[in-house]
Protein backbone atom coordinates (compact mmCIF):
# COMPACT_ATOMS: atom_id res chain seq x y z
CA UNK A 1 0.00 0.00 0.00
CA UNK A 2 2.61 2.46 1.14
CA UNK A 3 4.79 1.93 -1.86
CA UNK A 4 1.87 2.30 -4.27
CA UNK A 5 0.85 5.58 -2.61
CA UNK A 6 4.38 6.86 -3.01
CA UNK A 7 4.43 5.66 -6.56
CA UNK A 8 1.14 7.36 -7.49
CA UNK A 9 2.21 10.68 -6.07
CA UNK A 10 5.56 10.69 -7.85
CA UNK A 11 5.35 13.33 -10.53
CA UNK A 12 7.45 13.43 -13.63
CA UNK A 13 7.89 17.13 -14.38
CA UNK A 14 8.49 17.41 -18.06
CA UNK A 15 10.48 20.61 -18.17
CA UNK A 16 10.93 23.29 -15.57
CA UNK A 17 8.25 25.91 -16.14
CA UNK A 18 4.91 25.57 -17.90
CA UNK A 19 5.45 21.95 -18.93
CA UNK A 20 2.67 19.45 -18.12
CA UNK A 21 3.33 16.91 -15.39
CA UNK A 22 2.21 13.30 -15.21
CA UNK A 23 1.92 10.92 -12.32
CA UNK A 24 4.00 7.80 -12.70
CA UNK A 25 0.71 5.80 -12.83
CA UNK A 26 -0.40 7.81 -15.83
CA UNK A 27 2.94 7.17 -17.47
CA UNK A 28 2.69 3.44 -16.88
CA UNK A 29 -0.93 3.25 -18.07
CA UNK A 30 -0.07 5.03 -21.26
CA UNK A 31 2.22 2.51 -22.85
CA UNK A 32 2.86 4.80 -25.76
CA UNK A 33 4.41 7.20 -23.24
CA UNK A 34 2.93 10.11 -25.10
CA UNK A 35 6.03 12.21 -24.82
CA UNK A 36 5.31 13.98 -28.10
CA UNK A 37 7.56 11.23 -29.40
CA UNK A 38 10.70 13.18 -29.99
CA UNK A 39 10.08 15.86 -27.49
CA UNK A 40 12.80 13.93 -25.82
CA UNK A 41 14.66 16.86 -24.34
CA UNK A 42 11.76 17.52 -22.03
CA UNK A 43 11.76 13.85 -21.14
CA UNK A 44 15.43 14.10 -20.27
CA UNK A 45 14.84 17.28 -18.35
CA UNK A 46 12.23 15.48 -16.27
CA UNK A 47 15.01 14.16 -14.11
CA UNK A 48 16.66 17.52 -13.46
CA UNK A 49 15.74 21.15 -13.32
CA UNK A 50 17.92 23.41 -15.44
CA UNK A 51 19.38 20.34 -17.09
CA UNK A 52 22.57 21.04 -19.02
CA UNK A 53 22.46 20.51 -22.78
CA UNK A 54 23.46 16.88 -23.21
CA UNK A 55 26.34 16.45 -25.67
CA UNK A 56 27.94 13.32 -24.25
CA UNK A 57 26.31 10.69 -26.43
CA UNK A 58 29.55 8.68 -26.71
CA UNK A 59 29.35 8.01 -22.98
CA UNK A 60 25.75 6.88 -23.04
CA UNK A 61 22.37 7.63 -24.59
CA UNK A 62 18.89 7.98 -23.08
CA UNK A 63 16.53 5.08 -23.66
CA UNK A 64 14.34 5.88 -26.65
CA UNK A 65 10.63 6.13 -25.67
CA UNK A 66 9.76 3.41 -28.21
CA UNK A 67 12.39 1.15 -26.65
CA UNK A 68 11.10 1.81 -23.15
CA UNK A 69 7.54 1.08 -24.31
CA UNK A 70 8.67 -2.28 -25.69
CA UNK A 71 10.52 -3.15 -22.48
CA UNK A 72 7.94 -2.23 -19.85
CA UNK A 73 5.70 -5.35 -20.00
CA UNK A 74 8.73 -7.58 -19.42
CA UNK A 75 9.42 -6.18 -15.95
CA UNK A 76 6.13 -7.24 -14.43
CA UNK A 77 3.40 -8.77 -16.62
CA UNK A 78 5.71 -11.01 -18.66
CA UNK A 79 8.28 -11.68 -15.98
CA UNK A 80 9.00 -15.30 -16.85
CA UNK A 81 12.41 -16.89 -17.08
CA UNK A 82 13.24 -17.51 -20.75
CA UNK A 83 14.63 -20.93 -19.79
CA UNK A 84 11.37 -22.10 -18.12
CA UNK A 85 10.23 -24.45 -20.83
CA UNK A 86 7.24 -25.93 -19.05
CA UNK A 87 4.80 -23.01 -18.87
CA UNK A 88 3.48 -19.95 -20.68
CA UNK A 89 5.45 -17.44 -18.59
CA UNK A 90 8.69 -19.00 -19.79
CA UNK A 91 7.46 -19.37 -23.38
CA UNK A 92 6.49 -15.67 -23.54
CA UNK A 93 9.91 -14.61 -22.27
CA UNK A 94 11.68 -17.03 -24.60
CA UNK A 95 9.67 -15.71 -27.54
CA UNK A 96 10.63 -12.13 -26.67
CA UNK A 97 14.34 -13.08 -26.45
CA UNK A 98 14.08 -14.88 -29.78
CA UNK A 99 12.43 -11.87 -31.48
CA UNK A 100 15.12 -9.56 -30.09
CA UNK A 101 17.84 -11.90 -31.36
CA UNK A 102 16.39 -11.68 -34.87
CA UNK A 103 16.26 -7.86 -34.73
CA UNK A 104 19.88 -7.55 -33.59
CA UNK A 105 21.00 -10.05 -36.23
CA UNK A 106 19.14 -8.20 -38.97
CA UNK A 107 20.90 -4.91 -38.14
CA UNK A 108 24.35 -6.43 -38.76
CA UNK A 109 23.39 -8.90 -41.52
CA UNK A 110 23.95 -11.94 -39.32
CA UNK A 111 21.81 -14.98 -38.52
CA UNK A 112 19.88 -15.10 -35.25
CA UNK A 113 21.87 -18.12 -34.02
CA UNK A 114 25.06 -16.04 -34.29
CA UNK A 115 23.98 -13.58 -31.56
CA UNK A 116 24.99 -14.14 -27.92
CA UNK A 117 23.41 -11.79 -25.39
CA UNK A 118 25.76 -10.37 -22.75
CA UNK A 119 25.79 -7.53 -20.21
CA UNK A 120 27.40 -5.05 -22.63
CA UNK A 121 30.39 -4.40 -24.85
CA UNK A 122 32.97 -4.95 -22.09
CA UNK A 123 31.70 -8.47 -21.48
CA UNK A 124 31.37 -9.19 -25.20
CA UNK A 125 34.98 -8.09 -25.70
CA UNK A 126 36.17 -10.36 -22.87
CA UNK A 127 34.28 -13.30 -24.35
CA UNK A 128 35.52 -12.58 -27.88
CA UNK A 129 39.22 -12.13 -27.09
CA UNK A 130 39.83 -14.42 -24.12
CA UNK A 131 37.20 -16.92 -25.23
CA UNK A 132 38.80 -17.21 -28.65
CA UNK A 133 42.44 -17.34 -27.50
CA UNK A 134 41.83 -19.70 -24.59
CA UNK A 135 39.75 -22.13 -26.66
CA UNK A 136 42.78 -22.97 -28.80
CA UNK A 137 45.28 -25.67 -27.96
CA UNK A 138 48.35 -23.47 -28.34
CA UNK A 139 49.16 -20.01 -27.05
CA UNK A 140 48.39 -17.43 -29.73
CA UNK A 141 49.26 -13.96 -30.92
CA UNK A 142 46.78 -11.08 -31.04
CA UNK A 143 47.11 -7.78 -32.90
CA UNK A 144 45.33 -4.66 -31.75
CA UNK A 145 45.91 -0.89 -31.86
CA UNK A 146 47.04 1.77 -29.42
CA UNK A 147 43.78 3.74 -29.62
CA UNK A 148 41.48 0.88 -28.62
CA UNK A 149 39.09 1.30 -25.72
CA UNK A 150 40.70 0.53 -22.36
CA UNK A 151 38.63 -2.61 -22.01
CA UNK A 152 40.27 -4.10 -25.14
CA UNK A 153 43.75 -3.08 -24.01
CA UNK A 154 43.16 -4.46 -20.52
CA UNK A 155 41.80 -7.74 -21.92
CA UNK A 156 44.95 -7.97 -24.07
CA UNK A 157 47.02 -7.52 -20.89
CA UNK A 158 45.03 -10.35 -19.36
CA UNK A 159 45.71 -12.47 -22.46
CA UNK A 160 49.42 -11.80 -21.95
CA UNK A 161 49.13 -13.05 -18.40
CA UNK A 162 47.65 -16.29 -19.82
CA UNK A 163 50.81 -16.64 -21.96
CA UNK A 164 49.53 -15.21 -25.26
CA UNK A 165 51.53 -12.59 -27.14
CA UNK A 166 50.20 -9.15 -28.05
CA UNK A 167 51.24 -6.63 -30.72
CA UNK A 168 49.85 -3.12 -30.32
CA UNK A 169 49.95 -1.20 -33.60
CA UNK A 170 50.75 2.49 -33.69
CA UNK A 171 48.35 4.86 -35.41
CA UNK A 172 48.94 7.97 -37.52
CA UNK A 173 48.09 11.50 -36.37
CA UNK A 174 44.47 10.95 -37.42
CA UNK A 175 44.18 7.76 -35.37
CA UNK A 176 44.24 5.29 -38.26
CA UNK A 177 46.36 2.17 -38.50
CA UNK A 178 48.43 1.52 -41.59
CA UNK A 179 47.30 -1.67 -43.33
CA UNK A 180 50.88 -2.46 -44.43
CA UNK A 181 51.93 -2.33 -40.74
CA UNK A 182 49.06 -4.66 -39.91
CA UNK A 183 50.01 -7.13 -42.62
CA UNK A 184 53.68 -7.07 -41.49
CA UNK A 185 52.60 -7.79 -37.91
CA UNK A 186 50.76 -11.00 -38.89
CA UNK A 187 52.82 -14.08 -37.91
CA UNK A 188 52.24 -17.80 -38.32
CA UNK A 189 50.90 -17.95 -34.74
CA UNK A 190 48.62 -14.90 -35.10
CA UNK A 191 45.18 -16.02 -33.97
CA UNK A 192 43.17 -12.81 -33.77
CA UNK A 193 43.04 -9.19 -34.91
CA UNK A 194 40.92 -6.97 -32.66
CA UNK A 195 40.16 -3.43 -33.80
CA UNK A 196 37.50 -0.89 -33.02
CA UNK A 197 35.17 0.37 -35.72
CA UNK A 198 34.78 3.95 -34.43
CA UNK A 199 36.88 5.59 -31.75
CA UNK A 200 35.02 6.83 -28.69
CA UNK A 201 37.33 9.81 -28.09
CA UNK A 202 38.40 11.20 -31.44
CA UNK A 203 35.75 9.61 -33.66
CA UNK A 204 38.12 8.08 -36.22
CA UNK A 205 36.53 5.24 -38.18
CA UNK A 206 38.69 2.28 -39.22
CA UNK A 207 38.21 0.75 -42.71
CA UNK A 208 36.74 -2.47 -41.35
CA UNK A 209 35.96 -4.09 -44.72
CA UNK A 210 39.56 -3.58 -45.88
CA UNK A 211 40.99 -4.99 -42.64
CA UNK A 212 38.53 -7.88 -42.71
CA UNK A 213 39.71 -8.81 -46.20
CA UNK A 214 43.32 -8.82 -45.00
CA UNK A 215 42.47 -10.94 -41.97
CA UNK A 216 40.56 -13.40 -44.11
CA UNK A 217 43.40 -13.58 -46.66
CA UNK A 218 45.77 -14.63 -43.86
CA UNK A 219 43.28 -16.95 -42.17
CA UNK A 220 43.25 -14.85 -38.98
CA UNK A 221 40.02 -14.34 -37.01
CA UNK A 222 38.77 -10.73 -36.81
CA UNK A 223 37.03 -9.14 -33.83
CA UNK A 224 35.47 -5.67 -34.10
CA UNK A 225 34.47 -3.47 -31.18
CA UNK A 226 31.45 -1.73 -32.69
CA UNK A 227 30.22 -0.09 -29.47
CA UNK A 228 30.40 3.39 -31.03
CA UNK A 229 29.19 2.58 -34.54
CA UNK A 230 26.23 0.29 -33.97
CA UNK A 231 23.15 2.17 -35.13
CA UNK A 232 25.29 4.92 -36.65
CA UNK A 233 27.07 3.21 -39.52
CA UNK A 234 25.84 0.30 -41.61
CA UNK A 235 27.47 -2.96 -40.47
CA UNK A 236 27.49 -6.10 -42.59
CA UNK A 237 29.48 -8.84 -40.90
CA UNK A 238 29.42 -10.94 -44.08
CA UNK A 239 30.62 -8.25 -46.47
CA UNK A 240 33.17 -7.02 -43.92
CA UNK A 241 34.60 -10.49 -43.16
CA UNK A 242 34.06 -10.00 -39.44
CA UNK A 243 34.11 -13.12 -37.23
CA UNK A 244 33.29 -11.57 -33.84
CA UNK A 245 31.58 -8.21 -33.18
CA UNK A 246 30.81 -6.55 -29.85
CA UNK A 247 27.92 -4.15 -29.26
CA UNK A 248 26.24 -2.44 -26.34
CA UNK A 249 22.60 -1.33 -26.05
CA UNK A 250 23.18 1.84 -24.04
CA UNK A 251 25.26 3.40 -26.82
CA UNK A 252 22.31 3.46 -29.23
CA UNK A 253 19.22 4.36 -27.19
CA UNK A 254 18.78 1.01 -25.47
CA UNK A 255 19.15 0.23 -21.77
CA UNK A 256 22.37 -0.13 -19.80
CA UNK A 257 23.67 -3.54 -18.75
CA UNK A 258 22.89 -5.42 -21.94
CA UNK A 259 24.82 -6.06 -25.13
CA UNK A 260 25.64 -8.78 -27.60
CA UNK A 261 28.48 -10.62 -29.26
CA UNK A 262 28.16 -11.76 -32.85
CA UNK A 263 29.92 -15.12 -33.26
CA UNK A 264 30.29 -16.35 -36.85
CA UNK A 265 28.73 -19.78 -37.45
CA UNK A 266 29.28 -20.17 -41.19
CA UNK A 267 30.99 -20.92 -43.48
CA UNK A 268 33.42 -21.74 -40.68
CA UNK A 269 32.34 -21.72 -37.07
CA UNK A 270 34.24 -19.62 -34.51
CA UNK A 271 34.74 -21.59 -31.29
CA UNK A 272 34.87 -19.79 -27.95
CA UNK A 273 35.62 -20.92 -24.42
CA UNK A 274 32.80 -19.54 -22.25
CA UNK A 275 33.83 -18.07 -18.95
CA UNK A 276 30.35 -17.59 -17.46
CA UNK A 277 29.05 -21.12 -17.14
CA UNK A 278 26.02 -22.46 -15.34
CA UNK A 279 22.51 -22.80 -16.73
CA UNK A 280 23.55 -23.41 -20.34
CA UNK A 281 21.95 -20.17 -21.58
CA UNK A 282 23.02 -18.75 -24.93
CA UNK A 283 23.96 -22.15 -26.29
CA UNK A 284 26.32 -22.62 -23.38
CA UNK A 285 28.37 -19.54 -24.29
CA UNK A 286 27.04 -17.27 -21.55
CA UNK A 287 25.46 -18.70 -18.47
CA UNK A 288 23.10 -16.65 -16.30
CA UNK A 289 19.37 -15.91 -16.37
CA UNK A 290 18.48 -13.77 -19.37
CA UNK A 291 17.92 -10.08 -18.72
CA UNK A 292 14.64 -10.27 -20.64
CA UNK A 293 13.56 -6.58 -20.44
CA UNK A 294 17.10 -5.51 -21.34
CA UNK A 295 17.30 -7.93 -24.26
CA UNK A 296 13.88 -6.76 -25.51
CA UNK A 297 15.23 -3.18 -25.25
CA UNK A 298 18.33 -4.07 -27.24
CA UNK A 299 16.15 -5.66 -29.93
CA UNK A 300 13.86 -2.62 -30.05
CA UNK A 301 16.87 -0.27 -30.26
CA UNK A 302 18.23 -2.32 -33.16
CA UNK A 303 14.88 -2.31 -34.95
CA UNK A 304 14.55 1.45 -34.56
CA UNK A 305 18.14 2.06 -35.64
CA UNK A 306 17.53 0.11 -38.83
CA UNK A 307 14.70 2.54 -39.67
CA UNK A 308 16.23 5.85 -38.66
CA UNK A 309 19.98 5.34 -39.05
CA UNK A 310 20.66 6.80 -42.46
CA UNK A 311 18.52 9.93 -41.98
CA UNK A 312 19.78 10.44 -38.44
CA UNK A 313 23.43 10.06 -39.43
CA UNK A 314 23.08 12.60 -42.20
CA UNK A 315 21.35 15.10 -39.85
CA UNK A 316 24.06 14.65 -37.21
CA UNK A 317 26.83 14.96 -39.79
CA UNK A 318 25.41 18.33 -40.84
CA UNK A 319 25.24 19.53 -37.22
CA UNK A 320 28.74 18.17 -36.50
CA UNK A 321 30.23 19.97 -39.50
CA UNK A 322 28.40 23.17 -38.66
CA UNK A 323 29.80 23.07 -35.12
CA UNK A 324 33.37 22.37 -36.28
CA UNK A 325 33.19 25.11 -38.94
CA UNK A 326 31.84 27.74 -36.58
CA UNK A 327 34.28 27.03 -33.75
CA UNK A 328 37.26 26.88 -36.14
CA UNK A 329 36.18 30.17 -37.71
CA UNK A 330 35.56 32.08 -34.51
CA UNK A 331 38.37 30.73 -32.31
CA UNK A 332 42.04 30.66 -33.17
CA UNK A 333 44.51 28.05 -31.88
CA UNK A 334 42.00 25.25 -32.12
CA UNK A 335 42.61 21.79 -33.59
CA UNK A 336 40.21 19.05 -34.67
CA UNK A 337 41.33 15.66 -33.31
CA UNK A 338 40.72 12.53 -35.34
CA UNK A 339 40.25 12.02 -39.05
CA UNK A 340 38.75 14.99 -40.94
CA UNK A 341 36.37 12.84 -43.00
CA UNK A 342 36.57 9.22 -41.77
CA UNK A 343 34.92 10.07 -38.47
CA UNK A 344 31.78 9.27 -36.54
CA UNK A 345 28.81 11.36 -37.67
CA UNK A 346 28.33 12.62 -34.11
CA UNK A 347 31.89 13.30 -32.92
CA UNK A 348 33.48 16.71 -32.36
CA UNK A 349 36.82 16.38 -30.58
CA UNK A 350 38.82 19.59 -30.29
CA UNK A 351 42.01 20.69 -28.59
CA UNK A 352 41.94 24.33 -27.63
CA UNK A 353 45.12 26.25 -26.90
CA UNK A 354 45.54 28.70 -24.03
CA UNK A 355 42.83 27.22 -21.80
CA UNK A 356 43.07 24.80 -18.92
CA UNK A 357 40.50 22.21 -17.93
CA UNK A 358 39.60 24.39 -14.94
CA UNK A 359 38.58 27.23 -17.23
CA UNK A 360 36.17 24.90 -19.02
CA UNK A 361 34.30 24.33 -15.77
CA UNK A 362 32.54 27.59 -16.65
CA UNK A 363 30.73 25.59 -19.33
CA UNK A 364 28.62 23.93 -16.65
CA UNK A 365 25.44 24.30 -18.68
CA UNK A 366 26.68 21.75 -21.20
CA UNK A 367 27.27 18.05 -20.47
CA UNK A 368 30.40 17.10 -22.40
CA UNK A 369 33.66 15.26 -21.80
CA UNK A 370 36.97 17.02 -21.31
CA UNK A 371 40.60 16.11 -20.86
CA UNK A 372 44.00 17.61 -21.28
CA UNK A 373 46.29 17.78 -24.27
CA UNK A 374 49.08 19.04 -22.06
CA UNK A 375 51.18 16.53 -20.16
CA UNK A 376 51.70 19.03 -17.36
CA UNK A 377 47.98 19.88 -17.13
CA UNK A 378 45.81 18.87 -14.21
CA UNK A 379 43.82 16.25 -16.17
CA UNK A 380 45.77 13.25 -17.43
CA UNK A 381 46.44 13.06 -21.16
CA UNK A 382 44.46 10.11 -22.53
CA UNK A 383 46.14 7.10 -24.15
CA UNK A 384 44.34 8.00 -27.38
CA UNK A 385 45.73 11.55 -27.45
CA UNK A 386 49.20 10.15 -26.74
CA UNK A 387 48.82 7.60 -29.52
CA UNK A 388 48.02 10.30 -32.11
CA UNK A 389 50.93 12.39 -30.81
CA UNK A 390 48.64 15.20 -29.64
CA UNK A 391 50.54 15.96 -26.45
CA UNK A 392 51.54 19.58 -25.97
CA UNK A 393 53.96 21.28 -23.62
CA UNK A 394 51.69 24.31 -23.20
CA UNK A 395 48.22 24.71 -21.71
CA UNK A 396 45.76 23.02 -24.03
CA UNK A 397 42.44 21.41 -23.28
CA UNK A 398 40.73 18.63 -25.13
CA UNK A 399 37.00 18.70 -25.33
CA UNK A 400 34.72 16.02 -26.77
CA UNK A 401 31.16 16.64 -27.82
CA UNK A 402 29.01 13.66 -28.77
CA UNK A 403 25.84 14.63 -30.63
CA UNK A 404 22.77 12.42 -30.64
CA UNK A 405 19.15 11.76 -31.51
CA UNK A 406 17.82 14.62 -29.42
CA UNK A 407 20.41 17.23 -30.40
CA UNK A 408 18.94 20.27 -32.12
CA UNK A 409 20.48 23.00 -34.24
CA UNK A 410 19.50 25.54 -31.59
CA UNK A 411 21.48 23.57 -29.00
CA UNK A 412 24.54 23.49 -31.23
CA UNK A 413 24.29 27.26 -31.77
CA UNK A 414 23.95 27.83 -28.04
CA UNK A 415 26.88 25.56 -27.16
CA UNK A 416 29.13 27.19 -29.77
CA UNK A 417 28.25 30.62 -28.45
CA UNK A 418 28.90 29.57 -24.86
CA UNK A 419 32.21 27.85 -25.68
CA UNK A 420 33.49 30.83 -27.68
CA UNK A 421 32.63 33.11 -24.74
CA UNK A 422 34.25 30.84 -22.13
CA UNK A 423 37.44 30.36 -24.15
CA UNK A 424 37.75 34.07 -25.00
CA UNK A 425 37.25 35.00 -21.35
CA UNK A 426 39.76 32.38 -20.13
CA UNK A 427 42.38 33.60 -22.57
CA UNK A 428 41.80 37.21 -21.51
CA UNK A 429 42.10 36.25 -17.83
CA UNK A 430 45.34 34.40 -18.44
CA UNK A 431 46.81 37.52 -20.02
CA UNK A 432 45.96 39.75 -17.03
C1 LIG B 1 34.56 1.84 -28.06
C2 LIG B 1 33.99 1.27 -26.81
N3 LIG B 1 34.17 -0.03 -26.53
C4 LIG B 1 33.66 -0.60 -25.44
C5 LIG B 1 32.95 0.13 -24.51
C6 LIG B 1 32.38 -0.55 -23.28
O7 LIG B 1 31.00 -0.64 -23.41
P8 LIG B 1 30.02 -1.10 -22.20
O9 LIG B 1 29.73 0.14 -21.44
O10 LIG B 1 28.82 -1.64 -22.84
O11 LIG B 1 30.73 -2.13 -21.42
C12 LIG B 1 32.74 1.49 -24.74
C13 LIG B 1 32.04 2.32 -23.75
O14 LIG B 1 32.42 3.42 -23.46
C15 LIG B 1 33.26 2.07 -25.93
O16 LIG B 1 33.08 3.37 -26.20
Say which CATH number the domain at 132 has.
Answer: 3.40.640.10
Instruction: Report pLDDT digits (tens) over 369-416.
Output: 987 666 655 567 899 999 999 888 777 889 999 999 999 999 999 999
Residues, the chain? 432
**Is 70 exceeded by the pLDDT of residue 185?**
yes
User: 298 in ligand 1 pocket by Cβ < 6 Å?
Assistant: no
Q: What integer is the mean pLDDT of 292-304?
A: 98
Domain of 226 in residue numbering reads as: 73-304
| C-alpha torsion angle, residues 245, 249, 250, 253 (rounded to 10) | 120
The answer to whether residue 206 sits within a structural domain is yes
Contacting residues for 227 by C-beta, under 8 A, at least 6 apart: 121, 149, 196, 200, 246, 247, 248, 251, 259
The answer to whether residue 85 sits within a structural domain is yes
Question: So what's the pLDDT on residue 431?
Answer: 76
Give, to the nearest 10 degrees, the angle between helix 121-135 and helix 150-161. Answer: 30
CA–centroid distance, 303 to ligand 1, in Å, is 21
**Is 50 exceeded by the pLDDT of residue 2?**
no
The answer to whether residue 1 sits within a structural domain is no
3-state secondary structure of 132: helix
pLDDT band, residue 3 (cuts 50/70/90) = very low
Ligand 1 pocket: which of 58, 121, 126, 254 to mutate (most atoms <8 Å of CB)?
Answer: 121
Domain count, the chain: 1
H-type alpha helices, 108-232: 121-135, 150-161, 179-185, 208-217
The answer to whether residue 312 sits within a structural domain is no
Atom of ligand 1 lying closest to residue 121 CA: 10
The answer to whether residue 193 sits within a structural domain is yes
The answer to whether residue 2 sits within a structural domain is no
User: 101 in ligand 1 pocket by Cβ < 6 Å?
Assistant: no
CA-proximal residue: ligand 1, atom 11 (nearest) = 122
Among 1-15, 73-87, 338-352, which is the least confidently predicted range?
A: 1-15
pLDDT band, residue 8 (cuts 50/70/90) = very low
Contact between 297 and 258 under an 8 Å Cβ cutoff? The reply is yes
Q: What integer is the mean pLDDT of 234-239?
A: 98
* Cβ neighbours around 137 below 10 Å, total: 5
* Cβ neighbours around 225 below 10 Å, total: 30
**Is 80 exceeded by the pLDDT of residue 367?**
yes
Residues serving a catalytic function are 374
The answer to whether residue 171 sits within a structural domain is yes
Question: So what's the pLDDT on residue 12?
Answer: 30
Give, to the nearest 10 degrees, the angle between helix 409-431 and helix 292-330. Answer: 50
- Give Cα separations from 113 to 98, 122, 150, 249 (angstroms): 9, 21, 29, 19
> What whole-number distance in Å separates Cα of residue 133 and Cα of residue 162?
9
User: 120 in ligand 1 pocket by Cβ < 6 Å?
Assistant: yes
> What whole-number distance in Å separates Cα of residue 313 and Cα of residue 336?
20
The answer to whether residue 96 sits within a structural domain is yes
CA-proximal residue: ligand 1, atom 8 (nearest) = 121
Amino acid sequence: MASSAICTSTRLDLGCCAAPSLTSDEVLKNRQLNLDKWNFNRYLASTMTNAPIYLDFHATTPVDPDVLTAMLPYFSEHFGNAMSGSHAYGWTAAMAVSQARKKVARLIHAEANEIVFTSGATESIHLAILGYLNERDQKGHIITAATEHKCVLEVCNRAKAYGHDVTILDVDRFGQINSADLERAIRPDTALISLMHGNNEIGTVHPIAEIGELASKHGVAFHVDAAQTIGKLPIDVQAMNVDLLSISAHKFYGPKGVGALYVRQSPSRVHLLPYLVGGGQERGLRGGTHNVPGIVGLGAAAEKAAHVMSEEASRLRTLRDKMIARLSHELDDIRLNGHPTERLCNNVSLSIGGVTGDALLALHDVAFSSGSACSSGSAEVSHVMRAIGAVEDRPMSTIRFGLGRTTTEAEIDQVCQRLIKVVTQARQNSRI
